[in-house]
Amino acid sequence: MSYRKYLKFLPLFVVLMLGLAACGGSTEPAAPPEEAAPAEEAAPAEEAAPAEEEAAPAEEAAPAEEAEEEMAAECEDTIILGAAVSETGKYAREGKDTRQGYNTWLDWVNNEYGGIKVGDKCYNVEIVYYDDEGDPDTAANLVERLITEDEVDYLLGPYSSGLTMATSAIAEKYGVIMVEGNGASESIFERGFQNIFAVLTPAGNYTQSALKAVSDQGAKSVVIAYEDTAFPSAVGAGAEKWADEYGLEILAVETYPKDVADVSAIMTKFRDLDPDVFVGGGHFNDALLFVRAAEELGFSPDAMIITVGPSNPEFVAEVGDSANYIIGPTQWEASMSWEDEYFGTAAEFAERYEEMWGEPPTYQAAESTATALALQLAIEAAGTTEMDAVRQALYDLDVVTFYGPINFDETGKNVGKPMGAIQIQDGEILVVAPEEAAVSDLQYPMPPWDER
């Protein structure tokens, strides 16, 4: 299913519907006007606007309507962005975070910032979304549709390295800029492309801070498992590199296929090797499999470092107390010290996000907001919407944001931002590395499952 989500018209829609409800004398609901968007194009309420806006009384909604009218009168032009992001499929959970991150920026840039400033003009922004279903071929076809049929001005990236690999090739084919925050594999940036820019730290550095921290605590050996796809493979290769760097003996490395449903064979082998540290490279569902299998099999290394899952509050909700002591790489946390003039501090961004969506932001959500912000800043720095000028402005961008430093190298990677590590302690996600960003000490070693 495909749909367009134009959040900037929602406050006016809320006011209109409230007014109809107040004026109608019949007990029958009024039929929607003929020109209203069809149901399949309507944005889900969860993503389209914060719940408190939908429930707001008419007298509170009116100022929003006035603000929209004033903005529309001032900004007569529109920049249209396009994004193929998973709503269904394997990456539906992470896709939701990605869309909500983009839409947090969209709400801010239209309704608070007053549109993208280009010379003496300002531009409203719209985002056209399609559901890529977590499939690379589908994602590539949808991005081509965004470019050739919807005629979007620029692209925002999907979730996952595999989908970013596929979609960025289409963007390169048509010479359209794609800025992304959820494809970290180095292989994305090794093709000589000129139109892909990523605000996140590359995947090869995901485990650096965590492995250094456990090495400093006395860890001597490690086992590594990762999914045989682009992002996890880059994480795994990076883990091997950093293990060597910090003097950890690598006892075994195992890979597994995409969409694996059972990792017990790998975890049994690892248990028998008795390593100090386990590293798991995958996505959210893989993190759940690793922890549940380790507990069921009595595999109790001194540390478990797992990508994607542990930094997401839903991970704690899924596995409960078993989440404690698990370490995870993180691109961003609300406790970090970064700040900017747009969203304020990391904590202030988190507060804004939770107020809008009713849940705290994952780092995937934060980096998605930062993705759109980076594109905005480049357009404003270029002083034009012309593609070549905006591309050069992205290469020249060197800025600190609520998400961290953004400074792209010649391949489009962000070389300015360090990677952090969190540990779940008593159900809380706390930054434990690097030292300058830590808010808690690392708890090491992890106690055996049967001694908790």
Closest among 146, 178, 144 to 164, alpha carbons compared:
178
Q: Provide the mean pLDDT of the chain.
A: 87
User: pLDDT tens digits, residue range 58-85?
Assistant: 333 333 333 333 344 379 899 999 999 9
Give pTM, 2 decimals. 0.77
The whole-number pLDDT of residue 232 equals 96
The whole-number pLDDT of residue 74 equals 76
- Does residue 37 surpass a pLDDT of 50? no
Say what percent of the chain tops pLDDT 70. 84
CA distance 186 to 80: 28
Closest among 281, 247, 201, 214 to 433, alpha carbons compared:
214
Q: Which residues pair with 408 in a beta bridge?
A: 414
Q: Which residues pair with 124 in a beta bridge?
A: 78
Residue 380 banded pLDDT, cuts 50, 70, 90: very high
Closest among 446, 411, 394, 382 to 118, alpha carbons compared:
382
- Does residue 287 surpass a pLDDT of 70? yes
Inter-residue contact 432 to 423 (CB < 8 Å): yes
Amino acid at 103: N
**Architecture of the domain delimited by 205-330+420-437:** 3-Layer(aba) Sandwich (3.40)
Helical residues (DSSP H) of 27-153, grouped into ranges: 45-48, 51-54, 58-74, 92-111, 136-148
* Separation of CA 43 from chain center: 19
Q: What does 195-250 look like in DSSP terms, one character per residue?
A: SEEE-SPPGGGTTHHHHHHHHHTT--EEEEEEESSHHHHHHHHHHHHHHHHTT-EE
Beta carbons within 10 angstroms of residue 167's beta carbon: 28
Asked, colleague to colleague, whether 77-201+336-407 and 205-330+420-437 share their fold, the answer is yes
Beta carbons within 8 Å of 386's beta carbon, 6+ residues apart: none
User: pLDDT tens digits, residue range 381-440?
Assistant: 999 999 999 999 999 999 999 999 999 999 999 999 989 999 999 999 999 998 878 999
- Does residue 48 surpass a pLDDT of 50? no
Residue 93 phi/psi, 5-degree rounding, is -65, -50
Residue 422: its H or E element: strand 420-425
User: pLDDT tens digits, residue range 353-371?
Assistant: 999 999 999 999 999 999 9
> Does residue 434 have a cis bond before it (omega within 30 degrees)?
yes
Inter-residue contact 295 to 449 (CB < 8 Å): yes
The whole-number pLDDT of residue 437 equals 85
Inter-residue contact 45 to 100 (CB < 8 Å): no
Residue 210 banded pLDDT, cuts 50, 70, 90: very high
Q: Which residues pair with 425 in a beta bridge?
A: 428
Distinct helix (H) and strand (E) counts, the chain: 15, 18
User: Where are the chain's structural domains?
Assistant: 77-201+336-407, 205-330+420-437
Identify the CATH assignment for 77-201+336-407 out of 3.40.50.150, 3.40.630.10, 1.10.1490.10, 3.40.50.2300: 3.40.50.2300
